Structure 1
Amino acid sequence: MMRTKKLLPAALALMIVLPSFLDQAAAAEGEGKITSKDEVVYATLEANGKLDDIYVVNTLNVAEAGKTVDYGEYSSVKNLTNLSKLDQDGEAVQFDAPEGKFYYQGNMADNTELPWSIDVSYLLDGSKIEASELAGKNGQLEIRIHTAANEKADAIYFENYLLQISLQLSNSYQNLEAEGGMLANAGKNKQITFTVMPGKEEDLSLKADVDDFEFTGINIAAVPSTLPIDTSEMENMTDDMSTLSDAISELNKGVADLNKGVSQLNDGAASLRDGSAKYKNGISQLNGSSSQIVGASNSIGDALKKISTSLSSDTAQMDMRSLSELPEGLTQLADGMKQTANALTVLRENYAAAYGALDGAVKGIPDQQVSEEEIAVLYKSGADASVVKKLVDSYAAAQTVKGTYSQVQKAFAAVDPTLSQISGSVTEMGTALNGIAGELSASLKNTDMSGLDQLQKGIKELSSKYGQFHSGLVGYTGGVSKLATSYNDLHTGITGLADGTGELNNGVGKLHDGTSKLNDETKDLPDQMKQKINEMIKEYDKSDFEPVSFVSAKNEKVASVQFVIKTKAIEKEEQAEKKAKPEKKKGFWALLMELF
């Protein structure tokens, strides 16, 4: 009974295995048909990235069982599907394949190169160290990984394949830093994953504080880059960009209008400053001649008194020559007053023109108020912050000018009627003096000594009333002096206003240049965005990539080629020795018996 029980599992095993062998033997009679092939390239690297070993696991999808040929530059091959023999003749690998999936391994020749050049270096506390010396060390560790194209291999994989580089770290790694890497928890360990896009060279770095250092190695998977990019939301994005572009265009138009208005304001302020300078010079000259006018008037008054006194004395002793000079003096005085009145008229006309230009320029500043919320939106619009600040400062300066002008406008408006009144008064005085001089001259020509009494009375009355005229003249010159002194301050303010509007004009001009440039660069923003998205899709989406066999160009119907690459672990010596002890290999029958 015991013997029967022992034989039963073996009999069951034979019943399972023998039919498959019989099927494989029968399949060898015809030609096999392969519908597709997959290749997985396994590579082992030294800890520093140097290639150590490389082999390929081939998966053939066999539609019809029979004799089959595959190709590869292998140093040796191994059947992973059944116990049938693989015949190798150069690159050709011949075998009898049953229907379904057929697996076999090909160990690559020594001259085989990976498509990527991978260099791994280690630094401990800032100093380079060999990987063989790292096990069990403590300190700050940095692992640097450099990936680039291997010039000795076919570039098609480098240009179309995405690299996923991952490092699994135990909890003995602390204070992890991995710029550009994605950190994830993997059970009690942590995993850092880097992604290298097709056709790109990269320098990757991982930093950590380690204690009793060990390292399981770097795992690298290379697959075709097939990024499914959904473009359905592109229209919404481009609509938003169109709104932004339109807003910037409107902003540029508004700044252009502001620039035009500020330019007009600056022109008006400059005209006002020039007219004010002429007025200041004229009033200063008038004020300077006031003392001469008053002195001349004093002389006239004294002369009239002397004439009146002389006429009151003995007629026989009177000097008629001095009396004849009086009309000429009065005429000269009248001419001087007429010139003064004319100068005041010209000054009034210049002032009126300058005041009109200033009034129009200031009223041209828009009354619309810009709120703080609107200014905040403008800052967030993406425009150059310095340019926006200039715009806000310019707006504040323009509103200040408008507010200041509204406060002093009455003072500006009062100057014109004052000048008109003074000019009229001076004209009247000059006309009166001309009349007196004419009457006196006529009287002297037509008067003999018998009519001297009448002349005495007239001169006496003129002398007594001339004092009133002289008092009025002194008051007028005093007013001119005050006006000249006060107008210096007013002219200083007008000059400051003109300088301020000049700076405002320059600032708004630069702002307009900036908004114009921004408008030029963003007016085609939606189309530019679409173009960039399409370029990105074209660069990184390799969904139209057709796989090419890694092992031989003769292979057809290649469905996929993938790479699985791993660097050797860095372990302490006792740990490595445990792994180095060879385990007793179990035969096929031993493995089969374990199933039961």
Structure 2
Amino acid sequence: MNKKIEKGVITVILSSMILTNTTFAASTIINKSETVYVLKEDDNIKDKTVSVWLNSKEDIKGKDKSNLKNIKNLKTDEKIENKNGYINWDENVKDIYYQGESEENIPIDVKIDYYLDGEKIENNELKGKSGHLKVVISTENNKYVIKKIDGKNTKVYAPYTVIAAMSFPQEVVSNIESKDAKIAKDGKNELVTSVLTPGLKENFETILEDRQMEEFKSEAEIEMDVKNYDPVEAYVVISNELFQNKADLETIDNLRNGVRELEDNSKKLVDASTKLSDAQHKLNSGITELGDGTVKLKDGSNELYEKSGEFEDKLDEVIEKVKPVPGAAQEMYEGGSKLTSGISDYTSAVGKMNEKTGEMKDGAKKLHDGSVELDNGLGKLKDATSQLREGSSKLSKIDELKEEVMSKLIELKNGIGKLSAGATELNAGANKAVESAGELVTGESEFNRNLQMLNSKVQEISVPDLSGIENINVEGDLQSIGQSAKSIGASVNDIKQVIGLLNQIQDPESKAIAQQAISQLAGSAQNIGQNAQSIGVSTNNVAAKLQALSGLSEMSNNLSSLKELKSGMNQLAAASEKINTGIEKLPSGLKELQAGTEKLSNGASEINSQLEKAMSEAASKMDTSELMKLSDSLVKLDDAASKLKDGSSQLREGTEQSEEAVNLFTDAITELNSNSPKLNSGATELTNGLLEFRDKSKLFDDFPRLKTEGIAPMRDGIKKLDNGIIDLNSGAIELKDGGDLIDDNMKIFAEKLAEFKQRGIDELDKKTEELPEFKEIVDTMSELSKKDSSFTGTTEGFDTKYRIIEKIK
């Protein structure tokens, strides 16, 4: 439980018991009210803190004696210095609240022993136990003096009242009984309250009868049956304020008047306790609303912290995704610039090649036409040589065949003439094809080189992996966190409403003391509100920075198109390389063809010339022996003509395929050239887009700072807020339980005080007529109370009272 809240509220509740502090002295007097908070566990003091309230009708100015250490102001951050045991106040306020630590000993020892089925056991060992439990609350007074009264050394104890309260859940206890305490039921709890006066019985045991001292007890026993017991805590209040009024008893007669004054004061205490019970009931209603408000705060803060954790995880994913983007964007931009330049070179080469496509097509057509004519001429030549060969076998009948031979020779001469003309035309076409092939190789080589360079530049473009970016939705998380922060801020109003309830307390003394609790609750509300507002501001800042992610999904889609471009360029580059390899072989093949056609042309011309010469000589001589030689030549000529015919057929088929290939190639170049403007335009747009992407991607460099300087501090703040609300929630729950306990106990306390007045103080009134020594005992008790009016120290100008509140586990 938050100690500040616990102490503040208990101060509001219990400090109202102090009747003497509500009767203010002269305006120059500073009223000093001390509350000592003690936490005990296993009979050992774990913590001891003193809260002090200074109050005056005038501004507080004076020298405050104090033994406190580590002093701090409860309402401001102002540092308080303790110099040589004094605090010098020169303030323009009428109320000061401060606290510190003290090494002063507690005047009353309170001990609680537990016995389960007759065996002593520690409280923390009782968890889950069942059986018959006896609880013994014992007190020991350590403040006394030895004084000679009526001729005898008499030990007189300082007067203290001890109020002990415990609450037991009904589901674990039953048959609860006690002769020394008041038992009351409150819903699901059994409330046990006992008033003890350690040392008071010893002070009057020789004066009063036993029956008159039944209420002067230093020990209380409570018995009950328990099942699956859960250890509870005890709250104890120790005070001597009832006896701090001066007992001015100079004579036996005045003693009676003094006791009556004491009786009157005790009556006022009874009345004040009744008022306190009513005020406590009103305060308890406010505490209930505080508890409801803290439950809402706790739920909201838990959701806020969980949402901020989910948001941080998603932000980590975003940071990891976009980390390589700026560097890759720069590389992509540089590659895009090179790509634009390469595409320009590429389209220029395509244009040059396109200019030569007409000549290439003409050359291929002429080459094919020449090969057709050559093949046709060789066909006729072969027919003629075959006939001559057949006719040569009849040369023995030369005279008979002379005219026929001459006729065939004329046909042969005509055929060879055509062959020679066709060979010449074929040779011219071959020369043109060789020339065009050289230009084709040069153009294709330049085209392939530019295309390979272009592909290399395309492949160098690094495309970051932005897959999954479109699935990262942080806007919803930011909105949820913002709404939760607003909810937390709005819930602070619940705390402020409780503060309003506290402010409605009209009882002057209760209202004055309540300011300490109001101040602490207001501070908590302000801190929670500021934290919630700060988280809201941080959320807006984070949202503003995350706008850089806007459009990142669209960029991711565009980058996927770039990947397709890289793949397509790879395929195009591979095809171009194969074409280039084949084209490089074309000139050598065409040169061989050119050499063959040249030989063919020369050979045909020579045959034509020789045949013409032979025919002339044959016509004049017609010598049989010569004709036999001619027969042999014709056989060889026929064989050569057969081979030429076979070669010309293959040449004709090859040039036909070559023409088709050249046509396809030139058509492709023409289409590429027509698309060059689009390619150049697309490359320019791509480069411009990459430039814009590069500039925007620089924002991603600040993303890690967004986490370290934005999200991490925001989560730390949410965690602190959550922890504070958890403490506040726990405190509200314990305050509710403690408030219910004290609410009922105040009623019991009022009853007990009335009973104590009737059976104690009133009896003292009767005894003053019979016992002269009573005066000295009462005087001594009063002196001890006055000397022990302060726990931290007091001096002239201060009216000081104190009480001790112990929490025993």
Q: What TM-score, normalized by structure 1, do the two folds share?
A: 0.43
Bigger Rg over Cα: 2
More strand by share: 1
Of structures 1 and 2, the one with the larger relative CO (CA 8 A, separation 6+) is 2
Q: What TM-score, normalized by structure 2, do the two folds share?
A: 0.33
